[in-house]
Structure formats: structure tokens, C-alpha cells
Amino acid sequence: MGTYFNCYSLLEKVRVQLNEHSTGYVQGTDTTCKYSNTQIVDGINAARKHIYNLLLPRIPYEFEEEIELTGVNSVYTLPADFGQLRYFKDSDGNQIHPISTNQRRKTSGAGNGNLYYRKGNTLVIDKAGATEVCTLIYYRKCRDLDQGKASAGGAASITLATSAKKLIDYYNGLTIENITKDWVDTISDYSAARVATVLETAAADDYYGIVCDMPEPFHHLYVPRAVFEITGNFPVVYNRSLVGGTGALGWTVFNEDFMSTLKAYAGGSLDTYPENTWCAYSGGGGGGNSNPFNIPGH
């Protein structure tokens, strides 16, 4: 098992909860199992997205990134891990404000360097020919984890399995653990050919796992949630039963676990008085919402 909470080790843990664990199943050399590794990893990534959506409104600073972008004829390409825009500012630190595409300059006009609009995976400054270095502050998105057996490797590179995304820079900045060689490294670059650039040396048939990039205190929640995503029920340890059930009790225990972890990790000065929470999330008719995260069962 990997030393980090990576996708390979998560796969092992989920298989244990599914009562379908063996080294052959985990490594994909035995495919006689009920649940494929693809199904399980899909469940793990669905669980991560669910927990990410709960955490982002509460502790957005955990997902905040700041980078410099250089314009090419007024076009600024967003990073591969871009999720939501927080702030866009020019080289003097002044905010560049968003506009809709129907407000952009006419073809013959010079435009305004204090305005931008979104176009696909780029931001376009309304001023023609802008090339200055601007600063982008954003929240990174929840990227899918991957695990498997490398198809190739060498000095400073490892080629991920075909299950990995074929998107340039998709895994940039994420940590990868080589289970076979027992090393951990950061992916500095990633190509559409699934080649990850690292500092270590890898070889074909090395087993690896991409490491979770969310706060570690929440990692233990991935396994029960992944089991639910795969089977529609929580594992027996969350159902407190030796037989399958509706999962209602599992929901309750999972939600209590999540909330207690959230309070421990992000409590203190960030907490608000109950009346502030009720006011902030109140709906029509003045009624308060005691479940601002919309967690089922609460």
C-alpha cells in the first residue's frame, strides 16, 4: 500500500469495503471481480467532487491559487486546474473588470484595458494588442485522480496508463506516488501523450497513484462516499450492521463525521453566530436554512 493517500491506496480501501479485495483485482491482472477498477475509480472521483463542493464555500482559501499570465494579442489562457475566477488584475495591481461579449469593443476600436470577457478557456482583455503580464487569482477545480500501471518510463518521466486524461497540463502540480519504486514526486509538466515529467526515474509496468490534493483531514470520507457512489449504499461500518440496508443510518453517520471534521479543521475564528448563518442562507418568507451545505439527512 502507498504511503500517501493516493488513488491506488484508495482503490485498495474501497475494494476491502466491497468485500472484493485481492492484489490481482487492485492491479488489474485479475478481471473476474464484480466491480472493475474503472468503476471504482469513477466512484472515488465522484466522491471527491461531492466533498469538494461541500468544502469550497466554507474554506475557499484551501483551493486558492495565484499565477501570472502573459497576454498574446489580448488573449490570456487559463491554467489547466482553473475552476472559478477570484480576481484578475493588471501589472499595476488594478482590477480588470468583466463584461459580456456583446459589450466588447468594435473591430475598429482600440478598446479598454480595464475590461475583459471570457471566451472558452481564455480571458480576453478588451484593449487591442494587450501583452502585459497580469495576475490571476482563482480557485482550482477538483481534478480526477488516476492510478494504474505505467506504459513507459525513464529518467524524469513516467507515462501514465490509458485511464489517465489526455489533456495537456491536466495533472500539473499534483503529487504522484510510484508504488513499485517507492518514491513520491510532483508532476511539473504533463503532455497529451500522457507523459508526466518528474524528477525521479520510472519504468514500464510501475504501479502508481495520483495523490489527493484536498485537505488531509477529509480523506477518510472518500471511501464510504465512493462505496455509496458505486453501490447506492454505505459500507457496513457506516450502516452499523452486518447486512445491507437502505443507507439512511449510513447517511446520518457520514454527515455527522463530515460536520465534526469540518468544525475541527475550519472552526474557530471562521465560525459565525447561528443567527448570521440563518440570515445568510434564509429563503423566501424569512425562514432560515439550518443545513446551509444541503447535506442529505440534515
Query: What would the pLDDT profile of 7-26 be if each residue is shown by its tens digit?
Result: 999 999 999 999 999 999 99
The Cα–Cα gap between 139 and 143 comes to: 12
Buried b (16+ CB within 10 A) or exposed e, 38-60: eebbbbbbbbbbbbbebbbeebe
- How far is Cα 52 from Cα 143, in angstroms, rounded to an integer? 10
The pLDDT score that the predictor gives to residue 106 is 74
CA distance 37 to 60: 31
Band the pLDDT of 60: cuts 50, 70, 90. very high
Helix, strand, or coil (residue 182): coil
Closest CA to 145 of 13, 56, 17: 13
213, 218, 220, 221 alpha-carbon torsion, rounded to 10°: -110
Those residues with Cβ within 8 angstroms of residue 211's Cβ, 6 or more apart along the chain or in another chain: 4, 5, 6, 7, 145, 174, 175, 176, 177, 184
Query: Considering the entire predicted model, what is its pTM?
Result: 0.80
Q: Does the pLDDT of residue 136 top 70, yes or no?
A: yes
CA 108 to chain centre: 42
Q: Of 11-20, 96-105, 254-263, which range is least confident?
A: 254-263
The identity of residue 131, as a single letter, is T
Query: Grid coordinates standing for 134?
Result: 497580469
The domain spans of the chain are 61-140
Q: The dihedral of CA 126, 129, 133, 139: what is its sign? A: positive
Considering only CA atoms, which of 164, 168, 167, 166 is closest in space to residue 176?
164
Helical residues (DSSP H) of 61-206, grouped into ranges: none
For the chain, the average pLDDT equals: 85
Please compute the mean of the pLDDT values over residues 75-95 and round it to a whole number: 95
CA nearest 227: which of 209, 208, 247?
Answer: 247
Secondary structure (3-state) at 104? coil
* % of residues, the chain, pLDDT over 70: 81
Distance of alpha carbon 222 from its chain centroid, rounded?
12
The string of DSSP letters for 40-79 reads HHHHHHHHHHHHHHHHTTT-GGGGEEEEEEE-BTTEEEPP
CA contacts within 13 A on the Cβ side of 40 = 28
Using pLDDT thresholds of 50, 70 and 90, give the confidence band for residue 262. confident
Which of the two residues, 233 and 124, has the higher pLDDT score? Answer: 124
For residue 56, what is its C-alpha cell?
Answer: 469550497
